[in-house]
Each structure stands twice: as C-alpha cells, then as structure tokens.
Amino acid sequence: MEKYNSLIGFIRKTFNSEDFIPLHAPHFGGNEKKYVNETIDSTFVSSVGEFVNRFEKEIAQYTGAKYGIATVNGTSALHMAMLVTGVQQNDEVLTQSLTFIATANAISYIGAHPVFVDVDRDTMGLSPKALQNFLEKNGKKGADGFTYNNTTGRRIAACIPMHTFGLPSRIDEIAAICEEWNLVLIEDAAESLGSIYKGQQSGRFGKIGTFSFNGNKTITCGGGGALITDDEAIAKRAKHLTTQAKIPHPWKFQHDEIGYNYRMPNLNAALICAQMEQLDRFIDNKRQLAGLYDNFFKNSDIEFVKEIEDAKANYWFNAIIVENEQERDLLLTETNNAGVMTRPIWDLMSSLPMFKNCQHDGLENSIWLSERVVNLPSSFRP
C-alpha cells in the first residue's frame, strides 16, 4: 500500500481521468482555430498584422494599464523592462532566489548582478521585511539620489519581485520600499496574470509589469510575452526597441540604435487573442480546483498554500508544503510513478553555478520552501 494512494485517487477523480495527468495542459476552447486561420488566409503571420495591435490594447485594458507591448516571450519582456528603465551594466538588481530561472537570466543579459533576497513563507514571493532589512544593512543613499551597495559599491538600480505560482505577494509594501530607496520596481507577473491584490491587477504596482504566454502558463500562444506600463515614453521606447529600432517609413530601412527582434509574431497574437477571451473563465475554473485541493488537505499534515488576505490568486499552479525533503521525494516518486505528474519547486538561483557567488541575505524561508514545496496537477478542467 503506497502512502499517497488516496491523493492519487483524489486527483484522478477530480480530473475524471485514468490516463496520464499532466501538471498543466493548455486548453483551446474558443476562437483559436478561427483567428489562426484568419492570419494564414491573410498571409500576415509575422511582423505585421492586426492581432498584435488588438492584443496590446486588450492586455492593457484587462490589467488597467495605459499601454501594452507584446513580445516574443516573457524573458524578453523582462530584459526589455530593464533596458527601458535605465538598468545598466554593473548595476545590481534585487530579486528572489526562489524563482524561475528567467528572472535571474534577464538580469544577466543587462550585464547587471542579481542580489537574492528572501521570500515570505506564506506568499512564497519577495518579503518586504527581508527587502527593507537588506537595504538598511547594505544600502546607502548617494548624493545622486540612487542607492548604492556598501559592500560592492555598485548601484542598486531595480527590484524585481515575482508572484510565485500566481499567488500575490505583499506588493504594495514592496512598492513603498522601492519608492523610499529610489529603486525601479518591475513586477515579474509571468505566473500571475489576472491575480489581484487589494483591488489592483498583478503587474500594475511598479513602473512595468511583465507576462509570459509560454505553453504552461494560464493562457498561452505557444511562446509569447508582454509588458504593461502607464508611462508613455517607456511604452514608445519599448515598442521601438522590440521592433529592431526601426524608424517608421513607407520603404526605407532606417534604424537609429541597436534594437532587438523581440516582437510577437501575428500568428501567436491570433492565438493569444482567442485565449484572452477565456482568461476569466480559466481563472474561475482554477480557483474552483484550488478549493477542492484545499478541502482535501484539511485535517492532514500537508499544507495547501492559499492566497493571503486581500489577495485573489489565479492559482496558476497549486502548491502544497510537506513535512520535509524525504516526504517530498516520496510523494514525488509515488505520484509520478502512478502517472500523476507532480514537480518540486525550483532549485534556488543562489545554488546554481552561474549565480552561486551572488550576494544574498541568508534566504531562510527560501531554503525551507525549496525543500518542501510540491506542485500538483493544475490544468483547466473542461
């Protein structure tokens, strides 16, 4: 008798399936084929086309931002966000060690140095207390108004918190700290599209918010991303830089600086427009699933991770916390052997070869969570 048979049975019943159950499968239940066929029929599958413009308006409208810019993926949106807010080579950027690799990679593309601050135990997102402690211990305001790191002498230019698995972190407090220390706040909202904190959409608390539409995200177009902002100059510059820095002209190829081929193809935009139409339905469905899991784990020694007060999570990935690392590995082995896909949370960025020498604050909660968190099947259930 396996220890986790009842969990496996519950998941099979919940997904009404005796087959392999993935962690997160996309669902194409709307106008996907219609819109993609429209782009094929029009031949405008690439850099020109109406779906890109339409999507940029829709993502802005949905989140309540003034501007939206579509990108080829979430990583490029993050990279672009730092480029257009003046983060420079040799700057430092404060972020989580407990995040997906893309956050730390994008900081490296700038030539900046990630510095890893601890997360809160309940949100699994950046801890405002840890952030303030780190800055009080290591930061000093320069005559130019920027914050510098006492130890390295480098400028601390920005802070990139990430809303883990779509659970809103205490982003209003983080925003206030960034204001106090004059740090650019960029929200990595790749996992939290549609999540709400204190009445405000995820991605709307800083200068820029970024999203991902990779195959495993809440809505997907194969690969894609976006950034949102209220700042017109930043929006214009992001659009310019993501489209090879080309100056609009009926026929001339004029480029006024080194740009990037980061635009989203119209083919992908067609798919994401169809997915946007279903976003609220997906989130309702996922919140229902979270409720079922929450109920299942009541009165057990496993903790289901829930949204904090004032937060409405999209529950992109459902997560549990088990007693210790041995228990986690047993659960992972039994469920995956039974064809029910589960996964551990990411290895900490600070443990990876390319980031192991980066400064960090001790990361007590990050280490604790990285040993205990498991993700459970979280797909939309038709």
Ligand X SMILES: *Cc1c(COP(=O)(O)O)cnc(C)c1O
Contact 359, 134 (CB under 8 A): no
- 191 belongs to the binding site for ligand X (CB under 6 A): yes
Closer residue to ligand X (CB): 56 or 191: 191
In the chain, helix, strand, coil percent, each to 5?
A: 40, 20, 45
- 162 belongs to the binding site for ligand X (CB under 6 A): yes
Contact 38, 266 (CB under 8 A): no
- 374 belongs to the binding site for ligand X (CB under 6 A): no
Report in angstroms how near the CB of residue 315 gets to ligand X at its nearest. 14
Closer residue to ligand X (CB): 21 or 102: 102
- The Cα-based distances of 363 to 95, 206, 295 in angstroms read 12, 24, 31
Closer residue to ligand X (CB): 138 or 214: 214
Q: Which stretch binds ligand X (CB under 6 A): 42-50, 94-102, 201-209, 325-333?
A: 94-102
Helix, strand or coil, per DSSP, at residue 243: strand
Report in angstroms how near the CB of residue 305 gets to ligand X at its nearest. 16
Write the binding mask 170 to 189 for ligand X: x where contact by CB under 6 A, - elsewhere. Answer: ------------------x-
- 75 belongs to the binding site for ligand X (CB under 6 A): yes
Site for ligand X in 217-256 (CB under 6 A): 225
Q: Which stretch binds ligand X (CB under 6 A): 67-75, 169-177, 254-262, 362-370?
A: 67-75
d(CA 337, CA 99): 26
DSSP character string of 219-232: S-SSS-EEEEES-H
Angle between helices 74-84 and 101-110 (to 10 degrees): 40
> Token pair for residue 45?
């599958």
Identity at 294, one-letter amino acid code: D
- 100 belongs to the binding site for ligand X (CB under 6 A): yes
Closer residue to ligand X (CB): 338 or 349: 349
Number of residues that bind ligand X (CB under 6 A): 14
> Token pair for residue 40?
């094929």
> Token pair for residue 244?
């090879």
Q: Which stretch binds ligand X (CB under 6 A): 2-10, 72-80, 195-203, 282-290?
A: 72-80
| Dihedral pair phi/psi, residue 185, rounded to 5° | -100, 120
List residues near ligand X by CB under 6 A: 73-75, 99-100, 102-103, 162, 188, 190-191, 212, 214, 225
